[in-house]
Amino acid sequence: MHQYKTPIKDIHFVLDTLNYSQHCQNIGAVEATDDMIEAILEEAAKFCEQILAPLNQVGDQEGCQFNDGAVTTPTGFKEAYVQWVENGWPSLAQKEEFGGQGMPESLGNVINELGGSANWAWAMYSGLSHGAMNTLELHGTKQQKEEYLKPLVSGQWTGTMCLTEPQCGTDLGLLNTKALPNDDGSYNIDGTKIFISAGEHDLAENIVHIVLARMPDSPLGSRGISLFIVPKLLAGEKNNVICGSIEHKMGIHGNATCVMNFDGAKGFLIGPKNKGLNCMFTFMNFARIATAVQGLSTMELAYQGSLAYAKERRSMRSLTGTKSPAEPADLIIEHADVRRMLLTQKAFAEGSRMLIYQLGLYVDIAKQEVQNEDTKRADEFLGLLTPIAKAFITEAGCESANLGMQVFGGHGYIKEWGMEQIVRDARISTLYEGTTGIQALDLLGRKVLSNRGAVLKKFTKEIQVFCKKSKKIKEMKPFASRLIKLSKEWSGLTLRIGLKARKNRDEVNAACVEYLMYSGYTVLAYMWAQMAFSAYTALQNPACENKQMYINKIQTCEFYYQRLLPRTRGLKDCLLGGCETLMQMSADEF
């Protein structure tokens, strides 16, 4: 099985393209110097490559063990977590007032990629804690912050989000979990939550559950939901939070996906009564970006594995002539179709990295204490791009995983090579934190049409401004011209769907997935254009080092524009196809 290696040059290239050093200075993160970032990346790479990556297949083979409410994680997971905490990684991108190191959240995003690529199942145990911390920081009382944030920041405790119930998934208005008030201001929480990642484990001494529940006098539906802190242990004593079972899953076996029973567990209200969904979206938006990171991690890991195999495996002769005359056959990387698969993986991975890191910058800016036009723009673009990143990158991640298996041929179907594990681990990413369809409906319905495309217009205007600037490098003109045309078409398609939806609201649901994928390919084209511009600019310097790396970036951009971006044409036809053929049969006729 191929062991993960940190793509450090690619990471630095994206950070340079985004002018990350200047960004850190702009947001007041003065300690995030180039030398400091380099040291952090080096140490994170060592930990992920040497400690986490070797445990990836172990976690898949052993899985988690459940015994009478207790969960035992796979061999080595607990020791790795202890080392992770001792080295201070959980506190890296948290505020100093709560025991954090004060680094930008965007840098934490980069470290999340490394951990997720090395061992996604392990990374999930601490991953959701960051969403819990953000929710507490924004909506918790002073006392709640003092009591819960420091142990969460340090990694002494971990956190979860408890939304889904047996009878409801996305439609949280159907949830039944009850919150009965006590005289001391606390609440007794009663109900069952399912699909709770890292809901129970043996890594940390306490688990803080962030739980949605309904008070007795609250209205039905989503307007009557409140948010609560429900710790596993309260003042060192058990709190009637019991893991009923763990799921037997297709993938991510090393992470416990739990059924959690709350049997009169004591909880504490976060934020205003009946505003739980509003508060929970803080958690959800973080989780959606984190899930996009899983898509990127899948792409990177699958690409590394299939690339290494393609450089070792021999089969047939190249159609353009023998490449290895001393050998009985040529390497499969000499075959054009194998290169098609490898370049698809490469283009998706490097373009998605750029998008996810860009989202990290928006998070940093949006969270600044002084709100202005820049923070407003960052927040708006976050809202627009988060569902695109979550859905498009995870869908492309699944494609990359399957291409990785295909490069291996029959060996890809065999467990020892690790490729089929990547396929199984990746598949959940398109489902949790909102399926692709839900993200698409959120994008088209809530993020675009609800404001008549105002935010989309701002974003496409930014694309067009960049394209005009980039044309000062003559080699950029083909990319820029294509991207300008596509950005205008994106706005035009939005208008056409909006007009059709005025007559029939089903038109939104019928078009939304193709619309999101079209948007994803367009956004990645913008990311690749920026990287190509950065590469061309670097090559203009006579003292340029790593010339071949920059040339490879440009060549990958050319591949993306020629072989992947044309998929927008088919998606355009589909999303304009209307809902008639979808809705003309009655349910009984299926």
Band the pLDDT of 37: cuts 50, 70, 90. Answer: very high
- pLDDT tens digit sequence for 109-162: 999 999 999 999 999 999 889 889 989 999 999 999 999 999 999 999 999 999
The vertex-536 CA angle with 534 and 541, nearest 5°, equals 100
* pLDDT value of residue 173: 87
* pLDDT value of residue 170: 84
- 348 vs 506: CA distance, rounded Å: 31
Q: In whole numbers, what is the pLDDT of the chain averaged over residues?
A: 96
So what's the architecture of 279-440 in CATH?
Answer: Up-down Bundle (1.20)
**Is a pLDDT exceeding 90 seen at residue 284?**
no
Average pLDDT of the residues in 201-216? 97
DSSP string, 532-574: HHHHHHHHTSTT-S-HHHHHHHHHHHHHIIIIITTHHHHHHHH
**Is a pLDDT exceeding 80 seen at residue 394?**
yes
**Is a pLDDT exceeding 80 seen at residue 282?**
no
pTM of the predicted model over 0.95: yes
For residue 214, what are the β-bridge partners?
Answer: 178
- pLDDT tens digit sequence for 492-512: 999 999 999 999 999 999 999
Phi, psi of 241 (to 5 degrees): -110, 115
Band the pLDDT of 281: cuts 50, 70, 90. Answer: confident
**Is a pLDDT exceeding 90 seen at residue 66?**
yes
- pLDDT tens digit sequence for 444-469: 999 999 999 999 999 999 999 999 99
Nearest one of 160, 188, 181, 155 to 71, comparing CA atoms: 160
- pLDDT tens digit sequence for 231-278: 999 999 999 999 999 999 999 999 999 999 999 999 999 999 999 988
- pLDDT tens digit sequence for 173-201: 899 999 999 999 999 999 999 999 999 99
- 80 vs 447: CA distance, rounded Å: 40
Residue positions annotated with a catalytic role: 433
**Is a pLDDT exceeding 80 seen at residue 283?**
no
**Is a pLDDT exceeding 90 seen at residue 376?**
yes
In 247-297 the beta strands, taken as DSSP E runs, fall at 257-270
**Is a pLDDT exceeding 80 seen at residue 576?**
yes
* pLDDT value of residue 128: 87
Average pLDDT of the residues in 207-220? 96
Residue 492 three-state SS: helix
Residue 168 three-state SS: strand
- 455 vs 467: CA distance, rounded Å: 19
> Which contacts of 29-38 are long-range, i.e. CB under 8 A and separated by 24 or more positions?
29/102, 29/103, 29/104, 29/364, 31/102, 31/103, 32/103, 32/104, 32/107, 37/107
* pLDDT value of residue 300: 98
Average pLDDT of the residues in 566-570? 98
Average pLDDT of the residues in 11-37? 97
* pLDDT value of residue 287: 84
Phi, psi of 459 (to 5 degrees): -70, -45
* pLDDT value of residue 172: 87
Domain boundaries, the chain: 279-440, 452-578
* pLDDT value of residue 280: 82
DSSP string, 364-396: HHHT-SS--HHHHHHHHHHHHHHHHHHHHHHHH
The vertex-283 CA angle with 280 and 285, nearest 5°, equals 105
User: How many Cα atoms are found within 13 Å in the side-chain-facing hemisphere of 380?
Assistant: 17
105 exposed, middle or buried (CB, 10 Å; 0-12, 13-18, 19+)? buried
- 25 vs 31: CA distance, rounded Å: 9
**Is a pLDDT exceeding 90 seen at residue 19?**
yes
